Chain A
Amino acid sequence: MTYLFIILYAITLVYFALSERVKKFIWLLAIQGIILFGIVFYSLNEIEIFDFIFILLETIIVKSLLIPSFLNKVRKHNQLKREDEPSIPVFYSIIVVVISILISFLLSNYLNDIHLHTQYFTISFASVIFGIYFIIIHKNIYSHLVGYLIIENGIFLLSLAVGNVMPLMVNLAVLLDVFMGVLVLGIFINRIGDTFNSVKLDQISKLKD
């Protein structure tokens, strides 16, 4: 069952590359949150009630409800354009995401180590690479935030790949980091949006003391 969610996660990455609408990014992030919950839920051998609540809080509540609704708020506040066209044509982005997924699957096959759960490593590596690529091709701070969240989802999966049990403290730290990151960046975007009436990165280069 874990594989089902891993494959679905890979398909969401393809859709991230395909979509140009800001609203779709938010939807896809929410879906990724649910998929992450599925992956963790089916990978835990025995679930204690505390662990279950924590996972539920981290994936469903924060990743697929709180963060997307906050992002939506930021989108509305700044009156972002419906479409955020990347600087590289989508056609090439799809090829890049497919290559990154292929490389990460082949790399996992090659790594085949007993200390590493390669099934999670496959998609986490692809997710991190694609997150970085997503940040590079978009010129909008808002999309950079989305890219950051994709990378963060990849890191979440990486924590599953390297640990035999869910490292609670690590996850708690990552969760706090994401929450603060999104909150601070969101406020930052709002302030820039209020000052320049745009969240394009070109505007920031004009900043002076």
Chain B
Amino acid sequence: MLSIIFIIISAIFIPGVIAKIKSKIGGRRMPSVFQPLFDIIRLFKKGAIYSPTTSIIFKIAPIIYFSSVLMAAFFVPMAGQQGLLSFDVDFVFFAYLLALGKFMMIISAMDTGSGFEGMGANREALYSMLVEPAFFVLVGTLALFTQNSSFQDLYVNLHTSTQLSIIIGIAALYVITYISMVENSRMPIDDPKTHLELTMVHEVMILDNSGFDLAIIHIASWLKFAIYGTIISNFVVQSSWPIYIQIVSYLLIQMGYASTIGILESFSARNKMGKNPQWIIMLSAIAVVTFLTTLIITQKIILN
């Protein structure tokens, strides 16, 4: 129960921290950390407008997207604290819950009949498809390494004590951080601040959404950030620590994660659109190398 509460708390702060860091580095006056929250409240006050070409799919997609992301958040444990729901091989269910939400957004973008949105949907589908092997190989690696198959047990039994397991930890952190960038449509895959529809990926898909629908889409994106931040923090925070240290280090890691995104987005340029697939498949390649390392550790591959 504690995990979902903290995921929601960090989801509120992460976008504000990112905006703050970006404006600080850009030399602008910093907005309040709660500014994104005020924007959402403003959106909630407005009514949604639907284009006459859209169907029921466009209307229900944001709700399904939001609920699938919220449902996925239930499965994520926080340090030693159990997630709200947990069963064997729940990470597959987790991945496909996120995929369901994404699928709904893709078909809703295509439902609008706009060429731009179809193009964005196409890109989003491609990148999600390419990033999936990286996620599954990585979680499979961790499952093999810890001999457990649920999110909760996987992290509880993950001890990076030997030198080889440190490599697994570092590689897993690297891959998960960039998977989160791809899943959240941030740099270097997508620039959320771009103003040209031709170069957008995620933003172009939600051009037709307004008011309430747009607000819950934004909230779902924040939740996604918090979910991935929690997954990253689980690599560091150990379940054997006292609860208050766990919570403090969890919050610090979440803030560090948000600051890293802010710094990355301030200093790095976006990849060329054509180079995104190869960049994403590289994550899978590193995940495979990590998998091989696990095979050596668990002596499935015996070398002398």
CB<8 Å pairs between A and B, sample of 10: A7-B293, A97-B285, A101-B292, A105-B295, A108-B301, A109-B301, A109-B302, A116-B304, A119-B303, A119-B304
A11-B289, A14-B285, A102-B288 in contact; A109/B278 too (CB < 8 A)? no
- Cβ A108 vs Cβ B278 within 8 A: no
A3 within 8 A of B: yes
Rounded to whole angstroms, the CA-CA distance of A112 and B292 in the bound complex is: 16
Bound-complex Cα distance A116 to B303 (A): 10
Assess whether B167 is interfacial by the CB under 8 Å rule. Answer: yes
Q: A1-B163, A102-B288, A112-B304 are in contact. Are A94 and B281 (CB under 8 A)?
A: yes
B296 adjacent to chain A (CB < 8 Å): yes
Interface residues of B in 252-300 (CB under 8 A from A): 275, 277-279, 281-282, 284-286, 288-289, 292-293, 295-296
Question: 14 more A-B contacts (CB under 8 A) besides A112-B304, A118-B303?
Answer: A3-B163, A3-B293, A3-B296, A7-B293, A11-B286, A14-B282, A90-B275, A98-B289, A101-B289, A102-B292, A106-B301, A112-B302, A114-B304, A119-B304
> B95 contacts which chain A residues (CB < 8 A)?
none
Chain A contacts with B in 115-134, Cβ cutoff 8 A: 116-119, 122
Chain A hits for B292, CB < 8 A: 7, 10, 101-102, 105
Q: Interface residues, chain B, CB within 8 Å of chain A?
A: 163-164, 167, 275, 277-279, 281-282, 284-286, 288-289, 292-293, 295-296, 301-304
Majority SS of interface residues in chain A? helix
Question: Which residue of B is nearest A116, CB measured?
Answer: B304
| CB-based contact A14/B289 at 8 Å | yes
Q: Are A91 and B281 in contact (CB under 8 A)?
A: yes
List of A residues within 8 angstroms of B296 by Cβ = 3
Instruction: Indicate with 1 or 0, residue by residue over A150-189, a CB within 8 angstroms of chain B CB atoms.
Output: 0000000000000000000000000000000000000000
CA–CA, A62 and B71, complex, Å: 56
Query: Contacts A10-B289, A102-B288: A95 and B304 contacting too (C-beta < 8 A)?
Result: no
Residue from A3, A7, A18, A116 within 8 A of B278 (CB atoms): A18
Contact with B along A16-49 (1 / 0, CB 8 A): 0110000000000000000000000000000000
A41 to B301, CA, bound (A): 24
Q: Please, which residues of chain B bring their CB within 8 A of the CB of A119?
A: 303-304
* B303 and A4 form a contact (CB under 8 A): no
Residues of A within 8 A of B167 (CB): 3-4, 7
Residue of B at shortest CB range from A10? Answer: B289
Q: Is the CB of A94 within 8 A of B278?
A: yes
Interface flags for A75-107 (1: CB within 8 Å of B; 0: not) read 000000000000001110011011001100110
Q: Which B residues lie within 8 Å of A106 (CB)? A: 301
Closest Cβ of chain A to B256, distance in Å, is: 24
Distance from B292 Cβ to chain A, minimum over Cβ atoms (Å): 5
Per the bound structure, the CA–CA distance linking A122 and B163 in Å amounts to 19
Instruction: List chain B residues, Cβ under 8 A from A10.
Output: 289, 292
Contacts of B293 in A (CB 8 A): 3, 7
A140 to chain B, nearest CB (A): 19
A91 touching B285 by the CB < 8 A rule?
no
The minimal Cβ–Cβ distance linking A44 to chain B, given in whole angstroms, is 16
Q: Do the beta carbons of B285 and A105 come within 8 Å of each other?
A: no
User: In the complex, what's the smallest C-beta–C-beta distance from A192 to chain B, in angstroms?
Assistant: 30
Tell me the minimal C-beta distance from A103 to chain B in angstroms. Answer: 11
Chain B nearest CB from A31 CB (Å) reads 15
Which residues of the partner chain B approach A94 to less than 8 Å between Cβ atoms? 278, 281-282, 285
- Within 8 Å CB of A4, what residues of B? 163-164, 167
Closest to B130 in A: A91
Rounded to whole angstroms, the CA-CA distance of A101 and B285 in the bound complex is 10
Taking the closest CB of chain B, its distance from the CB of A7, in whole angstroms, is: 5
By a CB distance below 8 angstroms, the chain B residues around A98 are: 284-285, 288-289
Pick the 4 closest A-B CB pairs, nearest first: A90-B278, A119-B303, A118-B303, A109-B301
Residues of B within 8 A of A89 (CB): 278
B304 close to A18 (CB less than 8 A) = no
Decide: A91 and B301 in contact? CB cutoff 8 A: no
In the complex, the answer to whether A101 meets B302 with C-beta atoms within 8 Å is no
Residues of A contacting B279 in the complex (Cβ-Cβ under 8 angstroms): 18
